[in-house]
Each structure stands twice: as C-alpha cells, then as structure tokens.
Structure 1
Amino acid sequence: MGAYILKRLLLVVPTLLGIMIINFVLIQFVPGGPIDQIIAQMEGGGDVFEGISGGGGELIENESGDSVASRGLPQEFLDELQVEFNFARIVCDAGFTGEPDLRADECNPVPIPAFERFFLMMWDYMRFDFGESYFRSVSVVDLVLEKMPVSITLGLWSTLIAYMVSIPLGIKKAVRDGSSFDTWTSAAIIVGYAIPGFLFAILLIVLFASNNCFRLPFGISEFFRENVTWLYNSNPTCMRLFPLRGLTSSDFDTLSTWGQIKDYFHHIALPVLASTISAFATLTLLTKNSFLDEIKKQYVITAKAKGLSENRVLYGHVFRNAMLIVISGFPALFIGVFFGGSLIIETLFSLDGLGRLGFEATLQRDYPVMFGTLFAFSLMGLVVGIITDITYVLIDPRIDFEKRG
C-alpha cells in the first residue's frame, strides 16, 4: 500500500501541470481580458464584448495577446495596466540609472511571452502564493476563505443528508425488490433526479420563501392564518416559512447560542434541500444495486441455510461488502458538492459562495482567482482520489493495490 500511495503522489505533479497547461492555453483563445473589463467599467459598465461583436470601437491586439479596445485612452495608461497585470515588464536602456519607471523616456514596456508567464505563475503556485484579485485588491486565499462558509454549509449538510436518507432507503428497496414500495419509491426517485436543482429551488422559493399569495385547498390556508400567525410576517394573507436570502439574519450576532443555531438552520434549509435532491437519487439507486448484487451471492445463501436471521445476514455479512463502493465514495462526493457549488442555487438564495466567485472571476477574466482556485481545487481533487483508495482498504483489508502494479 505504501508503494502504491507513493506512486500516486508522484503522479500528482504531472497531472496537475497538465490541467493547468490545458486551461491556460484555452484561456489564450478566449476573447476579452482583464484590461478590456477595466476599460468597459471606465466607460460606464458597458459590455466588454461590445467591440468584439462589431458594435464598439476598433480592437487592437497587444503583443502580450490581450486584446484592448482602442477608444482614445492614453497609451501610457494601457501600458501601466499591462505591467500591473504582469502582461509586460519595464525594460530601460543600458545607460539608465534608477528605478524602472514608465514615465522615464529611457524605459518602455516589453510584453512577457505567454509561456514565461505560465511558468512564473506555476512557480508562485507551487509555493502556494496565488497573488491578488485584479478587481478586488484582496488576496485569492483571503477571498476563498471569505466564501468558504457557504460552500461548507452546502457541501457538508447536502452530503450528510444524502447519505442519512439514501442508505436506509436503498437497503429497504433492495430487501423489498419488486414490491409496491420499491416501485413507488423508484418512481419518486426518478422524478426527483429528472428535476433540475435550480428548478426545484425556484419551486421551494415560490412555495415557502416568497410573498406570493396563494391559497391552499380544503381550508388549510385559513387554518394556518388563524393558528400559526407568525408564519405570515407583515402580510396577513401570505405565508412565508423560510427566509429568502442569506446564510444568517442581520441580527445574528445579537442572538443567543440557541437562537443562532435555529437561525442558521432556518436559513440553510431550502438551499441544502435543493442541493441534495440529485445526489439523493443517485446514491439511493447505487446503494440498492450494491446490496442486490451482494444478496444474490453464494455466501448469503449459505448464511441463510445455516439458520441465521435475515437481519444478521443483512447487517452482519452483506452490509460491509455492499457499502464498500458507497462509503468509499464519500470523500469524492463531499469535495464535489463542496467545491462545485451551484452557481444558480447560490444566486437564487443570495448566497455568496465559491460557485458564484468562480463565475464572476470567469466573466471578469480575473486570472489570479481563476487559476489560483483551479490549482488549489485540482490539487485537492487529486489528493481526495488517493484518500478514496485508502478508504477502500480501511473498509475491506482484502484489497491490495500493490498487486495491481
């Protein structure tokens, strides 16, 4: 096992390098850049792609490969941006003495080749120096840490709830395979899997978090209005069970410990439910199929023939083997939900998490945030792959990766 882990660790470096090279090359062919974004903002927040589509001024291509709209801005200003964003460096004549300065006649900006910028970036990243955001003047690490609570909330609770519901349900479906319970639950799971998470989130908002007035049938609305008045807030005709936005209330710091706990769960209920629905469906069917495969094996038939009870056979023999594929996938599932935060769900519930950060960085061409988070999350994903293999061995010591070469 030690040799296998060492081999996997050695493969992390070339794999990570390949991921970064592919994404760096792809970004060179994407029109627009951070300088275009700044120009667009200076001109009143216009569309950065206006010039590219033919409606906005002439485009000139800098030697660094970053397209800049020629709209009458001073060249000195554009040169300073090139240097600030590390697309160019200041080079002065041989006889010049003093600090390199673009304002000096003897100094000029010289574009940095793309391959050199890439290796300089990777050298910083290997030292875990991810630089600062172009547009926020905040280090990438601080920016990620600022958005982390939302991702931890969605990732942790969505994964835990998915496992807590899916495993017992999947086991029961496997034991009662072909029954009416199995049929109806399968239909419900398929419907849940077919509904996109963002559409389910909109449905939850309309039903439980908006001020849209609707009447429930059979006098249910009247019953709630008369007996549970706190649900209606300031509008006596509309029921609102959950808050619409944010991770906590504005007065969170003034609440007691128990009040803070209730406020926290009150806010995360709907976004976590919307994030869980697809993982819940997949994990339930995976658990069922895994148990069905084990139940049909010879050792189960032998155990039953010896007179062992069904529960003893199921939880004493089948459970450990069937849960191997389910439990070992926990690290990967958690990291997937944790770092793949749903942009749409975060936007719908006004949650400022990593998904929204990545989307905004892509639109703004905020390269330090884009490549810094890509490097960090790719590294974590590769490490999680190794942890998953170790989890296999911890659950079933019979597995020997060294024999796989």
Structure 2
Amino acid sequence: MGISPEDYMLPAEREIRMLSPDGTLLPAEEQGTGPGHEYPVPGDDLLLEAYEQLIVGRRVNDQNTALVRQGRLAVYPSSHGQEACQVAAALCLDEGDWLFPTYRDTVAVIARGVDPLEVMVSFRGDWHCGYDPLEHRVGAQATPLTTQLLHAVGAAHAAVLRGEDTVVLAMCGDGATSEGDFHEALNFAAVFRLPVVFLVQNNGYAISVPLARQSAAPTLAHKAVGYGMAGERVDGNDLVAVLAALRRAVQLARSERTPLLVEAHTYRMQAHTNADDDTRYREREEVRQWAEKDPVLRMEAYLRSRGVLDDDAATRITGNAEAVAAALRQAMNAEAEPDPLEMFDHVYTEPTAQLRQQRDRLMEELAAESAADSPDAQEDAR
C-alpha cells in the first residue's frame, strides 16, 4: 500500500537524532521519531565508511582554508562543522541517482566519488567545474544561490519521462529558502510528483542574516506542507541520524515517486568565505557551544563504543585523509597551464561554423606569436 503525503506530512514534534553529543545511542523514545517517521540505525559497515568520508571531508576543509591563505585558491566556502550532512547526502544515493550541490558542498561531491583535485580547480579560478557531471551524476557546484534546485527538478522530470528509476538529491542552505527559485522548484516537484529529496542545511545564517530575519515558519521543514509534500527535521551534526533520515527519504521518493524536504540543523564553524568576518554578526560563545556538538567527535565516540573503530583503523583513516590533503597541496601549488583553445571545446556538442572560424583564427594568432618569440626570430630582430 502506497504512502500518501498526508500520511507523512507534518514534521515530528522533535528533530530526529540518534546520538547524544557524547556519542551515546539514544533510547528510541528520545530519538524524536513517531508514527510514519521510523528510521532504522544504519549498519556498522556503512557507518564506518561514512566516518572515513567524514575524516577526509574535515581534512579537505582545513587544507583548502590554508590554501586560500597561501594564495593558491581564490576562494573557498568551508563546510567545517557541516560535514555530516554532506557525507550522508552522498552515501544515501544509488549509483544511478543524481546529486546537485551548492558551492559549499565540496565534501559531498568528493564523497560521491569525484577526485578531490578535479573538485578544487574551479576554486582556483579555472573556467570549468573541473569534473564531468555525467560521469559522476553530480551537477556542477552552483555559485548562484538556489539555481541548482531548478536543475535538479529538471533532471528528475527528464528521468521520469524516460522511465528511469532515478532519485535526485538537491542541496541548499537556509538562505536559499528565501529565494524565488526555491518556491518554483518545490512547487513544480510537488505538482508533478517528482522523486526529488530537497536537503536544506540550516546553519543559522545566510552569510550574516540570521534565520529569524529570513522566515517566520516554525521550522524550515514546515515549508514543505504548503507545497503538499512531506517535511522532516534532523540533527545535522548527528551523522547516524542524517544518514538514516536521508536513506528513508530517498526510499520514499523512489517507491512513491514523491518529493520530500529534509531540514538538517547544523552549523558552519568558520566564516562564510575568506572574504567574510563572522565576528561581526555572531558571538564566540555561540561558536564554542556548537564546537561541543562536533559531528566528528560524536561519530568517533559512537564507533569506538561499538568496537567498530580501534586505534589501528583510526590511524589508517587519518593517514588516508592526510594523503588526500597532500595531493591537494601538491596540485594546487603547481602552476596551471591554461590552453586558450579550450574555451571552444564545450560550447556545443557539434561546434558551429562560426566557432570553428574563431578557433582557427585564434590558432593562427597563437602560432604567429609563438614564431615571433622563437630564438631565430629574436636573432633576426637583432
């Protein structure tokens, strides 16, 4: 028997959480679940895999922040503190599903299997996103706020028309819920019953604007009700809970072909980007309190209590994360060698006659410039 939106409409009275801040598994009655909101605890193998991605994500965030200070990256929006949401977003999907990330979701893209070196080239200033979206089924990281939600809905609609068994997960922040594109995407997905899971990472601020100045709704999950879709709230720093909630949402989206909205309450520990001074709009005490809810420490404590993680495994996982960071440093410290002709490669599948003419003209100019710089030409000039 199918599940109608009415069966699963209003968020539970409390947000879903499974681990206390110290990593202890909470009793079922304290997990915030209720009728229609059942979430089994993921298996130990999946949780260990998620923890490995969590450690890689934290190390990548901190390494990239250092690269910005060194001038090797133009900008980097860190997700330090939000890694649990991002890892869960990647691991809840099947291979044939699609992920549509924001500019802050680098960790999710890497956890989806994209080479970290390919992910970072756009933050260095390269003209393209660095990886092949079709190969990885990961949309380009979207800098314009909320445009990726419309792309996600379009991809889901196309998949339904083709008869594909595809779920799309679209990521955004709390600030995105104030945008018109957010309304259009959710409304279209609900009307056409598209298998899209909208993950809102509510970190409390749209750059410097607090949530209270953005929305009067009781929670962002309640916004789903107006569109006729299910909404849910989850502790975004509890990797077990986020993974369980998103896996359930993906399952419902696939089996019932219906969209869902999941609000994950989390926190970015660092500034919006390197161009931001977060001390101007939030107190250090607030940051300190959230540091005590660190998703990495919480997950490590839980896995150790289960006997799934020991010192040897922790050393191996940390070593792997360090290797990823070292490769990033090496790649970003190398000078880029841009190819001017590359600008013509991906405009159309089949280049137009005008593009071919422009490319040939540029080739001639580059060849002439190279010939003028040759040793023989310089000797003749003397």
Task: Classify the TM-score, shorter chain.
Answer: under 0.3
What is the TM-score when the length of structure 2 is the normalising length? Answer: 0.20
Structure with more helix by fraction: 1
